[in-house]
Amino acid sequence: MDQLINYFLPSKSLSKRLDLFELRKRKLFISFCLIALFSIVVFTISHFLGGKIYSGAINVAGAIIMLGSLLLYKFSGYYSLAASGFLISAVLVAGGQHYLAPSHMQSNLMWFPLIALLSYFILKKEHAVLMLFICGGIGLGSHIGPEFYPISGDQFNMADRYAVNILTIILSIVVGHVGGRYISKEETDTLKELEKKNQDLLELSESNAALLSILSHDLANHIHVAYGFGKKLDSCDLEDVEAIRCHSKVMNSVEQMKTIVDGVRGYTATKSGKINIHLSPVLIRESVNKSIDLLQKHADEKEVKINLVTDFEEDISISCEPISLVNSVMNNLLTNAIKFSHPHSEIRICITDLDDSVSFSIRDTGMGIPDDILKNIFDPSISTSRSGTVGEPGTGFGLPILKMFIDKYDAHIDVSSSIKGETGTEFRIHFKKWDTVAKR
């Protein structure tokens, strides 16, 4: 059975890359199509041997369409069209047989719920619902149609009725049993394969994490040594202009590498749970002022003015972790605002007291963020690094790290930006008040 099913699967060049569930769905289509063909062949032989030409002709037409559906899928890869063709041909065969003798072959009606159930397994949900209505409509039409438009065709005596009904019941039971067993087998095989893939991914993830830890640790050692010696040279009297220029470039490069390595180490450590975040009451205005004090020098170098606005007098406690709030959240946002602001511009920071939360926003009127970068701005797996308005380098790690801590605080962040005019970029964070969290 498996070899026959694999034969009707299209070549890789004709089918898109399928996940396990899609591949299972296509195998089910092929298997039920083959089972239906076998059933129709049995009925066709029975009808022709009994002289039932019309019934046999309906079966032959249905078998041709089903076989055509299989071949269509094999040679073109058009799955939805092939599966729909198979199901509709099965409904038409069952409906046509019942139309010829509705009062004699009530067992034909047993095929309709089976076909409707089958459509759920091999079609999309919305298509399966449509097939349910088609089955109901054709089944009802084949039952009441002969009362208004009778067809004088095959004649069925009592023996014929019993033979066809018994054969229909036996085949429907066999089809249900074989189909059920195959579905169960496919489910088991799919779950086993998923479990194996999950295990492989887990091992790969652990291996990558270990490699990243080793690399960042070893690189950090050498970078910190180079950084230390570079700082010592700052206090030396360098008279050669070229030596001073080279020393400045080396120090900038080492600082950038140090920032990247420290960011990676902090991100992986927090993600893996090695660094625990303990939430506590943190004064938000005080934290923002700390960040401004740390980065004021960079803002002054670009002659960027930082304007802090609050709508309250007494500082408010929010639910956060104080060190990461300043170093990884506020510093990241303010660094980016300065980096992407034009010289002689303004950065506006607003803190607003809401009922159960505190709204923090930081807005610049700089170069803005393109849409293709904006949609992936918090994704650590996609590079979003850009140079600033005067060529300042970036790492792309800052905002994913920031988002990770925002999630740890159970806060919410959103961003709006435009590259047109002087709109710039605005980040908004809603922090929970400590009093609100403490009452729970």
DSSP 309-369: EES-SS--EEEE-HHHIIIIIIHHHHHHHHHTSPTT-EEEEEEEE-SSEEEEEEEE-SS--
pLDDT band per the 50, 70, 90 thresholds, residue 286? very high
User: Which span out of 232-241, 275-284, 314-323 was modeled with the highest average pLDDT?
Assistant: 314-323
433 pLDDT higher than 80: yes
Please tell me the distance from the alpha carbon of residue 14 to that of residue 38, in angstroms, as a whole number. Answer: 27
Categorize the per-residue pLDDT at 96 as very low, low, confident or very high, splitting at 50, 70 and 90: confident
- How far from 357 is each of 278, 285, 404, 439, CA to CA, in Å? 19, 14, 19, 14
Which region among 36-40, 347-351, 412-416, 421-425 has the lowest average model confidence (pLDDT)? 421-425
Q: Dihedral sign, CA of 145, 149, 154, 160? A: positive
Rounded to 10 degrees, the C-alpha dihedral 80/81/84/90 comes to -140
The per-residue pLDDT for 175 is: 64
Q: What is the pLDDT of residues 138-149, one digit of tens each?
A: 878 887 877 777
Give the 3-state secondary structure percentages of the chain, helix then strand then coil, rounded to 5.
65, 10, 25
Question: Has residue 299 got a pLDDT over 60?
Answer: yes
Question: Are the beta carbons of 353 and 380 closer than 8 angstroms?
Answer: no
Residue pLDDT, tens place only, 177-199: 666 676 677 667 767 777 787 77
Is-above-0.75 flag for pTM? no
Asked which of 79-88, 99-108, 127-136, 144-153 is least confident by mean pLDDT, the reply is 99-108
115: pLDDT strictly greater than 70: yes
Distances (CA, A) of 56 to 13, 78, 427: 38, 29, 72
Between residues 254 and 207, the one the model is more confident about: 254
Angle, CA of 33, 35 and 40, to the nearest 5°: 90
- pLDDT beyond 80 at 211: no
What one-character DSSP code corresponds to residue 433?
B
Are residues 142 and 96 in contact, defined by beta-carbon separation less than 8 angstroms? yes
In terms of Cβ atoms closer than 10 Å to its own Cβ (0-12, 13-18, 19+), residue 397 is buried
Q: What is the mean pLDDT of residues 55-70?
A: 89
How far is residue 116's CA from residue 124's CA, in Å, rounded to a whole number? 13
pLDDT of 282 reads 94
CA separation for the pair 388, 406 (Å, rounded):
24
Q: What Cα–Cα distance (Å) separates residue 407 from each residue in 274, 285, 333?
A: 17, 20, 16
Listed in sequence order, the DSSP H helices in 77-124 are 79-100, 111-122
The residue that leads in pLDDT, 348 or 36, is 348
Asked: is 280-438 a CATH 3.40.50.2000 domain? The reply is no
Query: Mean per-residue pLDDT for 122-130?
Result: 79
The amino acid present at 252, given as its one-letter code, is N
Higher-pLDDT residue of 69, 22: 69
Q: What is the mean pLDDT of residues 319-330?
A: 89
Are the C-beta atoms of residues 281 and 311 closer than 8 Å to each other? no
For the chain, domain boundaries? 2-201, 207-272, 280-438
Average pLDDT, the chain: 79
pLDDT exceeds 60 at position 105: no
Q: What percent of the chain has pLDDT over 90?
A: 21
